[in-house]
A and B are shown apart, each in its own frame.
Chain A
Amino acid sequence: MIDLESVSVELDGRLVLDEVTVQLDQHRIAVIGANGSGKSTFARVLDGLVAPTRGTARVLGFDVAREAKRMRAEVGFVFTNPDAQILMPTVAEDVRLSLKGSGLDRSTIDARVASVLAAYGLAAHADAPAYSLSGGQKQLLALASVLVREPKLVIADEPTTLLDLGNARRIGTLLIEELPAQLVVVTHDLELAARCDIALRFHEGRLVELGDPAAVVERYQREFA
Chain B
Amino acid sequence: MIALYLPGTSLLHRARAGVKLLGLVVLALLISLWPHTAITVAFTGALVVGLYALALFPPGMLLRQLWLAKWITVLMVATQLIFLTPWDAMVNTVRVVAIVLLAGLLTLTTRSEELLSALEAALRPLAFLGVDARRVGLTLSLTLAMLPVVADLARRVREAQQARGVRIGYRAVVPILVLALRHADDVADALSARGAD
Contact = CB atoms under 8 A, between A and B. Distances in A.
Given A81-B186, A84-B183, A129-B148, A89 B195 contact: no
Contact of A88 (B6, B112, B149, B192): B112
A56 interface: no
Q: Chain B interface residue count: which class?
A: 20 to 34
Nearest to A127: B7
A96 B4 CA distance: 17
Given A101-B195, A129-B4, A86 B145 contact: yes
Nearest to B144: A89
B195 A93 contact: no
Nearest to B7: A127
Contacts, number: 83
Given A83-B183, A88-B145, A97 B194 contact: yes
A45 to B, nearest CB: 13
B113 A131 contact: no
Majority-rule SS of B interface residues: helix
B103 to A, nearest CB: 15
Given A87-B194, A93-B111, A129-B4, A49 B187 contact: no
Given A84-B183, A89-B112, A93-B112, A131 B149 contact: yes
Interface string B183-197: 100110111111110
Given A127-B5, A145-B194, A87 B189 contact: no
Given A83-B183, A87-B187, A127-B7, A96 B193 contact: no
- Most interface-central of B142, B191, B192 (chain A CB within 10 A): B192
Given A87-B141, A127-B111, A97 B196 contact: yes
Contact of A87 (B5, B6, B111, B190): B190
Contacts of B193: 47, 49, 72, 76-77, 79, 85
B190 A90 contact: no
Given A83-B149, A84-B187, A131-B149, A89 B4 contact: yes
Interface in B1-34: 4-7
Interface of A: 44, 47-49, 68-69, 72-73, 76-77, 79, 81, 83-90, 92-94, 96-98, 100-101, 127, 129-131, 145
Given A89-B145, A90-B111, 20 more contacts: A44-B189, A73-B195, A77-B193, A83-B183, A84-B186, A85-B186, A86-B145, A87-B141, A87-B191, A87-B196, A88-B112, A88-B113, A89-B144, A90-B4, A90-B112, A96-B113, A97-B194, A129-B148, A131-B152, A145-B194
